[in-house]
Amino acid sequence: MTGKQRLSASVDAELLDAAQTAVDQGRATSISAWVNDALRLKAEHDRRMQALDSFLATYEAEHGVITEVEIDEAVRQARSRATVIRSAPAKSHRGVA
């Protein structure tokens, strides 16, 4: 990895607030560290999306285009095998302390 470089960028105010909150809460050592982590996550996400695009292009070249019906069936199968790990939210009882 090469050394650090200074960056000047304009960001949305709410993102800067989120970065400062992360620093204030001890979840980041500095705004620079928070931005560095965000850029690292974005770069990794982009690499994964490019790999997925490449995989799908190769798959579809060999097997044909994946249809909406096939996607719907895959979603149905995945949901049928899923394990629920959260229970439904508790119902609110007004006036109960």
What single string gives the DSSP state of each residue in 9-71?
Answer: ----HHHHHHHHHHHHTTSSS-HHHHHHHHHHHHHHHHHHHHHHHHHHHHHHHHH-PPPHHHH
Say what the pLDDT of residue 81 is.
94
Domain locations in the chain as residue ranges: 13-81
Q: What is the pTM of this model?
A: 0.69
Phi, psi of 86 (to 5 degrees): -120, 140
Pick out the chain residues at pLDDT < 70: 1, 92-97
pLDDT per residue as tens digits for the range 72-90: 999 999 999 999 888 777 7
Check if the beta carbon of residue 30 is closer than 8 Å to that of residue 16. no
